[in-house]
């Protein structure tokens, strides 16, 4: 599922928490009417304290503050912090709390990441409110202005009012879209659309990527922390590389929060390397960012390329067609690749048996996982 392509937007790339967190805090502190936040991860700690403080300040100015958290991903938020938010007037809802219903329903998580202020400015990316995003993880976000912000508001509204979202006992409604139209005069107008996925039957993000991979002429660069691609995506990447497209994968190295996912994805390295795909593993820290560049098309948001994102999770990405932004994303790729180790075909073919065993083991578990849907 996806929104309409809209002209006249402004998109700003915000790499690293040192850039996107201050920008978000500044926007919320300037809110006049509403703040909408949707997150998967939120856990008590220093970053959560800072976020709660800025939301409490907004609520004290009679700004409508709505916070939608995933019922599993935000289990680390202490009851005292929940009470703090609600006592200050923040409306808090939980998406799909764990229960005794079907396993498939428990697997369905809200993995989207979204902040919207006054219906005029939005932020998306792979961020969460856990201290790792400040202390250890590399992340990228995007600041959004223009007509596409209305689509983000509508996306939030549908889930806030869904039967799977519980809490906020008072009937709190989502403020309508800002309807701000194009960006301010003199600013560079960009073309963009919101695209989202919702479980196995609604994989617009994956389908959009596959079309771009199939149609790319110059480059396909993908950064994802969890790379366990479907057969159809692997096939398209290999075919693109063989027809001369520059295919690069920027993936985590030894720093990983789920090492088994890394091993499961590494079992596909050999064939892709033989086809000419270049693979880089980021060395300084765990790279949690999710962004893709295909020629001058950019996609950035919450979606990983693993079975959780593509079969069960609710995901959302911002797509942009703009040569200038594509140039900024390409420069970001190059900086991160410079801090990465390239996996060479010959060296990979000589990897030790213990590495091969881990690929087989976690690959087998990944295969079992796909049969749960």
Encode pLDDT of 200-218 as tens digits: 555 788 889 999 999 999 9
Mean pLDDT of the chain, nearest integer: 90
Confidence at residue 186, expressed as pLDDT on a 0 to 100 scale: 42
With residue 211 as reference, give the H or E element that holds it.
Answer: helix 204-215
Residues 364-371 have a mean pLDDT of 76
Model pLDDT for residues 239-291, shown as the tens digit of each residue: 999 999 999 999 999 999 999 999 999 999 999 999 999 999 999 999 999 99
Proportion of the chain above pLDDT 70, given as a percent: 88
Model pLDDT for residues 111-169, shown as the tens digit of each residue: 999 999 999 999 999 999 999 998 889 999 999 999 999 999 999 999 998 877 777 65
**Residue 227 has what DSSP assignment?**
B
Q: Is the pLDDT of residue 99 over 80?
A: no
244 conformational bin, left if phi > 0, alpha if psi -120 to 50, beta if neither: left
Read off the pLDDT band of 309 (50, 70, 90).
low
Higher pLDDT, residue 179 or 86: 86
Least confident span in 184-188, 245-249, 308-312: 184-188
Domains of the chain plus CATH, in order, are 6-192 (3.30.870.10), 201-370 (3.30.870.10)
How many Å apart are CA 108 and CA 115, to the nearest integer? 21
Enumerate helices (H) and strands (E) in the chain, giving the number of each. Answer: 14, 18
Read off the pLDDT band of 298 (50, 70, 90).
very high
Distances (CA, A) of 274 to 89, 117, 241, 292, 342: 57, 47, 10, 22, 14
């Amino acid at each position: 599922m996806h929104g309409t392509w809209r002209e006249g937007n402004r998109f700003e790339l915000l790499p690293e928490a040192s850039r996107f967190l201050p920008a978000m805090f500044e926007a919320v502190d300037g809110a006049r009417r509403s703040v909408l936040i949707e997150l998967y991860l939120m856990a008590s700690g220093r970053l959560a304290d800072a976020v709660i403080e800025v939301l409490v300040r907004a609520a004290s100015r009679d700004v409508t503050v709505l916070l939608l958290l995933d019922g599993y991903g935000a289990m680390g938020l202490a009851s005292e912090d929940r009470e703090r938010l609600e006592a200050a007037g923040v409306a808090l809802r939980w998406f799909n709390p764990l229960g005794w219903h079907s396993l498939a329903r428990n697997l369905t998580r809200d993995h989207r990441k979204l902040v919207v202020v006054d219906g005029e400015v939005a932020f998306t990316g792979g961020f969460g409110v856990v201290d790792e995003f400040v202390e250890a993880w590399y992340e990228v976000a995007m600041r959004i202005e223009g007509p596409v912000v209305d689509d983000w508001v509508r996306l939030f509204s549908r889930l806030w009012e869904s039967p799977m979202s519980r809490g906020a006992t008072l009937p709190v409604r989502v403020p309508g879209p800002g309807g701000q139209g194009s960006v301010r005069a003199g600013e560079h107008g960009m073309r963009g659309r919101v695209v989202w996925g919702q479980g196995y039957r609604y994989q617009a993000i994956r389908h959009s990527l596959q079309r771009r991979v199939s149609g790319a002429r110059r480059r396909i660069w993908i950064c994802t922390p969890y790379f366990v691609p479907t057969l159809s995506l692997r096939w398209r990447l290999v075919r693109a590389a063989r027809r001369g497209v520059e295919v690069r994968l920027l993936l985590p190295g030894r720093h990983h929060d789920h090492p088994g996912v890394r091993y499961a994805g590494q079992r596909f390295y050999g064939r892709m390397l033989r086809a000419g795909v270049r693979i880089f593993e980021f060395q300084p820290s765990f790279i949690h960012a999710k962004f893709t560049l295909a020629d001058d098309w950019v996609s950035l948001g919450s979606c990983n390329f693993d079975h959780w994102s593509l079969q069960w999770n609710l995901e959302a990405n911002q797509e942009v067609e703009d040569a200038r932004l594509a140039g900024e994303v390409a420069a970001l790729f190059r900086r991160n690749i410079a801090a990465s180790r390239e996996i060479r075909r010959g060296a990979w073919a000589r990897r030790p048996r213990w590495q091969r065993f881990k690929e087989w083991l976690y690959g087998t578990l990944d295969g079992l996982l796909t049969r749960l849907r």
